Structure 1
Amino acid sequence: MMTTGADTIRIDGEEIPFTPGQTIMDAALAAGIYIPHLCHYPGLPPSGNCRLCVVEAGNRSVAACITAAAAGQEIRNDTPALNAARTAITQMLFVEGNHICPSCEKTGNCKLQAMAYHLGMLDDHFAQFYPHRELDASHPGILLDRSRCILCDLCVRASRDIDKKNVFAIAGRGTDAHLVVNTPSGKLADSTLAVTDLAATICPVGAILIKEKGFEVPIGQRIYDRQTIRETGLQEHVERKNGD
């Protein structure tokens, strides 16, 4: 229930409260309104990388995860045009990496795959890139497969802001952008990354995997076999808020 006198915004006609400093994304999730996203994670500073959360605020298109809520905003989120744009972005993310769902250990736990289902994506539409990117299996407990990386930089922010280790970074620009390991050798084995670090488990796709854990949870019993990405996205926000 909305508090009398509270600052409010409207999303798709629904009036919701927000507190000063909240982004549109945080206000929406707190009110139980899902805005599609891949690079947003409760408790981490936002980056606006994936652009799936772009909404229309007045006459402007803005990323909900990095745009502050402001009193009186009229926001459109769930529209055919925005969802078509989100589908196109998701299709591009699929073809820019090697995302072969049936053979990937992350299937059923993959946010990119779940987002495709959420948006009703039926095909890749664009031609596959099939990139050849370095795979790093040097770490005794963690595998890094850059061919699946979607450059969300969740592992970068988790390592820097939560784990306090600064293991990862994004180097290059445009099509040359890639994930790097901040060690003189560039190898994961020479980093301080541990399997218990948030950076080791936060990857939304199959770019960072814990070794010797593959298929411990059978297909059919995995996260997105049981819940939609909308449900888990709203649940993540609640769990983080209750944990603070």
Structure 2
Amino acid sequence: MSGSEFTITIDGVEVAAAPGQTIMEAADAAHVYIPRLCDHQGLRHQGSCRVCTVKADGRSVSACTQPAAQGLVVENETAHLNKLRRDLVEMLFHEGNHLCPICEASGNCELQAMAYRLDMTTPTKFPYLEPSRALDASHPDIALDTNRCISCGRCIRASQDVDGKGVFGYVGRGIHRRVAVNGHDLAHTDAALTDEAMSEEVCPVGCIIRKGVGFSKPIGEREFDKGLIGYKIEGKRDE
């Protein structure tokens, strides 16, 4: 540990942290996985999905935005927090139209993988809202299906901060909030397949669709066929 580093405790284990790190960044460096959906490496933190909620000195905070501090005691893997996370993920399933068996993101979808990690296989707690949102397939290379959108904002931040374009943004409020584009449709924007916002890693679900590559990876070679979500951070495979 360098002179500027300090320690925090996560689930009873001391881990090193550095000034300026969030709880999640310190946990990732220590190979401790904290569930998340709206956070993505290389993008500014947003703290909107709340799936990364932890208890820090007894207070509920989002691990992706809360700074680490000397002596902070963090609870991450508890029955209470995982129930909260399951409820949040289940609400995301009920709010949109997520038909996993026929979705080209199946096996690569972070929402689907998070449900499996949290032992949520059949959402039953809340009524399905079944929204009807138009599919925008106007662009020659990209389609946008906001029926699957979970309002993580990753495409918005990538387009604004990395691509410098601002192709995506939110419209509406509350339950009616959705991602829209800065043109009549996607074809009337400067969106390009090479944009960071369109990369396979940015959209956690099957909302941003790269045309011509759907179902290209067979079962067994998809991202979460290799292990539960978080296996790369934890440094171990799900056996």
The interval holding the TM-score normalised by the smaller chain is over 0.9
Aligned match of 1:212: 212
Letter in 1 for 2:189: S
Cα deviation, residue 3, structure 1: 4.7
Contact 2:104 2:206 in 1 (8 A): yes
Letter in 2 for 1:193: A
Do the aligned partners of residues 13 and 3 (structure 1) sit closer, same or farther apart at CA in structure 2, a change above 3 Å counting? farther
Aligned match of 1:123: 122
Alignment of 1:87-102 (within 5 A): 87-102=86-101
Letter in 2 for 1:46: H
Separation (CA, whole Å) in 1 of partners of 2:231 and 2:220: 17
Do the aligned partners of residues 162 and 211 (structure 1) sit closer, same or farther apart at CA in structure 2, a change above 3 Å counting? same
TM-score of the superposition, structure 1-length normalised?
0.91
Contact 1:39 1:48 in 2 (8 A): yes
Cα deviation, residue 234, structure 1: 5.4
Separation (CA, whole Å) in 1 of partners of 2:182 and 2:23: 33
Structure 1 runs (4+) greater than 6 angstroms displaced: none
Aligned match of 1:22: 21
Q: 2:84 aligns to what SS in structure 1?
A: helix
Aligned match of 1:49: 48
Contact 2:5 2:19 in 1 (8 A): no
Aligned match of 1:134: 134
Contact 1:154 1:199 in 2 (8 A): yes
Contact 1:3 1:17 in 2 (8 A): no
Q: 2:18 aligns to what SS in structure 1?
A: coil
Aligned match of 2:229: 229
Separation (CA, whole Å) in 2 of partners of 1:111 and 1:8: 30
Aligned match of 1:110: 109
**Greater mean deviation of Cα atoms: 144-153 or 173-182:** 173-182
Unaligned segments of structure 2, at least 5 residues? none
Unaligned segments of structure 1, at least 5 residues? 236-244
Q: 1:67 aligns to what SS in structure 2?
A: coil
Aligned match of 1:154: 154
Separation (CA, whole Å) in 2 of partners of 1:200 and 1:224: 20
Q: 2:113 aligns to what SS in structure 1?
A: helix
Aligned match of 1:188: 186
**Greater mean deviation of Cα atoms: 140-149 or 215-224:** 215-224
Separation (CA, whole Å) in 2 of partners of 1:136 and 1:4: 53
Contact 1:111 1:229 in 2 (8 A): yes
Aligned match of 2:72: 73
Q: Percent identity?
A: 50
TM-score of the superposition, structure 2-length normalised?
0.93
Cα deviation, residue 227, structure 1: 2.3
Cα deviation, residue 61, structure 1: 0.2
Q: 1:34 aligns to what SS in structure 2?
A: coil
Contact 2:4 2:19 in 1 (8 A): no
Aligned match of 1:200: 198
Q: 1:16 aligns to what SS in structure 2?
A: strand
Whether 1:86 and 2:107 are equivalent positions in the alignment is no
Separation (CA, whole Å) in 2 of partners of 1:232 and 1:215: 23
Separation (CA, whole Å) in 2 of partners of 1:194 and 1:168: 12
Contact 2:31 2:233 in 1 (8 A): no
Number of aligned residues: 232
